[in-house]
Amino acid sequence: MALPVGATSLDEADAAVELWEHYKGRKLDDGQRLDVAVMLATRDDGLWAASVTGHEKPRQSGKGDAIEVVELWGTTQRSERILHTIHDAVLLATETQSRMLSLLDSHADLRRLKSKEWKGTGQQKIEFRNGGVIWYRTRTGAGGRGIDEVDRLVVDEAQHAEFQHLSAITPTQAVSANPQLNALGTGGLAGKSDWWWSLRKQAKGTPGAFAWLGWSAQRWDVDDSGRVSIDDVDPFNRELWWQTIPGLVAGRTTIEFLERELRILGPEGFAQEYLCVWAPPPDVGGNSPIPLDVWETLTDATSATASNAARVAFDVSTDRRFSCFSAAGRRADGLGHVEVRDNRPGTDWVLVRAGELAEGHGCPITVMRGSPGASFIDEFERAGIEVDVMSPNDYAEACGRFIDATRGVTPDIRHRGQPLLRVALSAAQTKPSGDGGLVWSRRSSTTDITPLTTATMAWGRVGDGVDAPATFFVY
């Protein structure tokens, strides 16, 4: 278990549980209450204590109820925009929406809060009169297409989620003032759950703005190099069932049901689904120089540059599906700050946004020569937008500076915990550059790390001193 540092209040969590139990007509068990607590724990400034939460729980353990509590509270009380993604069977999106609709329609008080609903496959959505909305999508359906702004991203059946799936949907959280990603799943699958493993391994480090709740019969550890050691588990050991499956203790399932599941699924399948026994992690990410637990310790949800002279960098993903602007600069306390400023599908919006950011920050737009975004250099210049062309050698130096700024007794970089940057870092590794340095590269051809590369480029143009106070910002 890893809990977020900085949590000072569970008032919203307690109120959310009370609201759900009142209308649902039943009580949560202790494990479910803990799930809700880590998702809705707040800091002194009212922001979520955890920007990312992971919930590793067996089947029949009530994950669906816990996330329903959070989604009911978020939509009806906070006007949250929620994207609930299902990374397994398509029908689960329909079933999950039906559960929420059944709850909303169960009482006149809740029915009055709902304005519209859509039930078409791939278009499931519930809208609320206060502006809240929840979309239900599958990895095989529309994904995050057509959804521009999300406050809460739910990754359900996270053992099936892959880096390319997350790269496609996390841009929806780029502009939220208080984003949170909630991942829920069972044991990791062989050769597939590399993203899910990246969260689990982070739980062994310093949590920062991160929370992890694991209910597993499996003993495991990870060394400083990221190598995982796993103990064997006997799925026929009934004592482990009582120790691991909260639904058995809470009475949601029975020994007889589990016996049938063991016969149907076989020992390996039963261990994965009901004892959260993970297959060994895929052999990826071994040379990533910034562990995710280290990155999380650098989170400051209120972080911002203290100058309009912050530097802005631009690039386009290699498949040209997304375009990204990131910014970097110095804070009032002298520490550095990096953030994704804008990340959207396509390129038709890029020219206007580049002009806004260049004017607002009083700086040129940094573009790397030879990158996918280099095709915009002439277009920017024709539009009167000053361009700072970064050489590949300068980019390699920027990568080194970026990595170094996350290390040491007093690391230099701070960030807001944007899931978009976190996923990009999770999907990145390093490779040698032509001049003997290191540069970022993707683990596979389907992952997008443009938010990380643009943040690195922008950081490479930031000086060591503190700039003058800001007078004008464009967001």
**Residue pLDDT, tens place only, 157-209:** 999 888 777 776 777 777 788 999 999 999 988 777 888 888 888 887 766 78
The single-letter code of the amino acid at 95 is E
Q: Is residue 243 part of a domain?
A: yes
- Does 140 have pLDDT greater than 70? no
| Mean pLDDT, rounded, of the chain | 86
Q: Is residue 470 part of a domain?
A: no
Residue finishing a domain among 228, 244, 274: 274
251 with 167, same domain: the answer is yes
Q: Is residue 436 part of a domain?
A: yes
CATH number at residue 197: 3.40.50.300
Least confident of 47-56, 285-294, 295-304: 285-294
225 with 368, same domain: the answer is no
* CA 249 – CA 268 distance, rounded (Å): 22
The pLDDT of residue 368 is: 96
CB 38 within 8 A of CB 50: yes
Percentage of the chain with pLDDT > 70?
89
203 with 150, same domain: the answer is yes
Q: Is residue 4 part of a domain?
A: no
255 with 172, same domain: the answer is yes
Q: How many CA atoms lie within 13 A of 39 on its CB side?
A: 32
332 with 452, same domain: the answer is yes
* CA 379 – CA 398 distance, rounded (Å): 25
The pLDDT of residue 284 is: 43
* CA 70 – CA 153 distance, rounded (Å): 12
305 with 409, same domain: the answer is yes
- Does 61 have pLDDT greater than 60? yes
292 falls in which pLDDT band (50, 70, 90)? confident
Mean pLDDT throughout 16-41?
A: 94
Tell me whether strands 322-330 and 311-316 are parallel, antiparallel or unpaired.
antiparallel
61 with 106, same domain: the answer is yes
The pLDDT of residue 286 is: 45
Mean pLDDT throughout 75-79?
A: 96
* CA 413 – CA 402 distance, rounded (Å): 8
The pLDDT of residue 90 is: 60
Quickly list H helices, 9-89. 11-24, 30-40, 63-77
Q: Where in the sequence is the domain holding 246, given as residue range(s)?
A: 11-274
Residue finishing a domain among 211, 242, 274: 274
The pLDDT of residue 89 is: 63
Q: Is residue 404 part of a domain?
A: yes
Mean pLDDT throughout 307-327?
A: 88
The pLDDT of residue 445 is: 57
Residue 49 DSSP label: S
State how far the alpha carbon of 196 is from the alpha carbons of 40, 53, 99, 185, in Å. Answer: 21, 11, 26, 8
* CA 42 – CA 94 distance, rounded (Å): 31
Closest CA to 340 of 421, 413, 414, 447: 421
- Does 221 have pLDDT greater than 70? yes
394 falls in which pLDDT band (50, 70, 90)? very high
* CA 6 – CA 19 distance, rounded (Å): 25
Q: Which residues of 400-423 are buried (b: 16+ CB within 10 A; e: fewer)?
A: bbbbebbeeeebbbbbbbbbbbbb
- Does 352 have pLDDT greater than 50? yes
268 with 304, same domain: the answer is no
For the chain, report the end-to-end CA distance as a whole number of angstroms: 37
Q: Is residue 471 part of a domain?
A: no
Residue finishing a domain among 222, 245, 274: 274
